[in-house]
């Protein structure tokens, strides 16, 4: 009779038992890899965000230096006000993780405000804003090449994408070897015959 007293309930819930064991193993494995991949993704996205903010700060500081040097009165005051507002917004962005005020700061809202102020500053300065990521080129060799090579980058014989060339604004000529002085360019519009690869 002792053989019949075994617990049959475990056999009835056999699928649930296997599911629970698999879930525990998968959860532990996912937690480890989630931390590793999350840290790598956070590092990558953080770098992109700070690269963008660094560009905005450098842009604003450069224009502030230009306007302070040239100082033309009332119009420069308005431009300098927009520049100082942009620099103040960038200074509010937390630089440490976790920051003591992290619960009070909405990163995405502050980043949107900085982008908006940058676009406004560009409009006031009459400058075309840079609105693309730092690296738009495909990063992996398996990425698909451009479909229309007339409009996009040209492809070389190995199937690799080559950058398109843009005309140079200034012609650069080699130094003269006879006089030791740089050769003077007589061409006023040299961009028609010289190409520079970007």
The pLDDT, as a whole number, for residue 139 is 45
Count of CB atoms situated within 10 Å of the CB of 57: 19
More confident residue, 157 or 129: 129
Percent of the chain with pLDDT over 70: 55
Residue 71, token pair as written in the block: 């100082």
pLDDT given at position 147? 45
Q: What are phi and psi of 163, to 5 degrees?
A: -70, 145
CA nearest 153: which of 131, 137, 135? 137
The pLDDT, as a whole number, for residue 53 is 93
Q: Which residues contact 71 (CB under 8 A, 6 or more apart)?
A: none
Region of residue 18 (phi > 0: left; psi between -120 and 50: alpha; otherwise: beta): alpha
The answer, yes or no, to whether residue 25 has pLDDT greater than 80, is yes
- Tens of pLDDT, residue by residue over 77-114, are 889 999 999 999 999 888 776 655 556 778 889 999 99
pLDDT for the residue numbered 159: 58
Q: What distances in angstroms separate CA 151 from CA 118, 154, 155, one per listed residue? A: 30, 9, 12
Evaluate if residue 194 carries a pLDDT over 50: no
CA-to-CA distance for 13 and 193, rounded, in angstroms?
Answer: 81
The whole-number average pLDDT for the span 128-132 is 74
Using CA atoms, how far apart are residues 111 and 56, in angstroms rounded to an integer? 11
**Mean pLDDT on 162-174:** 55
Is the distance from CB of 86 to CB of 117 less than 8 angstroms? yes
pTM: 0.53
Where does the chain have alpha helices with state H?
9-12, 14-70, 74-92, 107-125
> What's the rounded Cα separation, in Å, for the pair 198 and 195?
10
């Amino acid at each position: 009779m002792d053989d019949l007293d075994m617990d049959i309930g475990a056999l009835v819930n056999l699928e649930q038992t296997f599911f629970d064991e698999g879930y525990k193993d998968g959860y532990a494995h996912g937690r480890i890899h989630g931390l590793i991949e999350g840290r790598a993704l956070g590092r990558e996205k953080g770098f992109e965000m700070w690269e963008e903010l660094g560009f905005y700060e450098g842009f604003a500081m450069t224009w502030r230096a230009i306007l302070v040097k040239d100082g033309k009165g009332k119009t420069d005051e308005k431009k300098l006000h927009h520049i100082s507002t942009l620099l103040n917004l960038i200074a509010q962005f937390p630089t440490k993780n976790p920051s003591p005020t992290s619960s009070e700061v909405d990163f995405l809202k502050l980043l949107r405000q900085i982008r908006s102020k940058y676009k406004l500053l560009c409009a006031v300065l009459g400058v075309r804003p840079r609105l693309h990521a730092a690296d738009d080129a495909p990063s992996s060799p398996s990425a698909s090449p451009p479909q229309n090579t007339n409009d996009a980058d040209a492809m070389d014989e190995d199937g690799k994408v080559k950058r398109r060339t843009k005309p140079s604004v200034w012609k650069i000529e080699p130094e003269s070897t006879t006089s030791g002085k740089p050769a003077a360019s007589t061409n006023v519009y040299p961009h028609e015959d010289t190409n520079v690869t970007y």
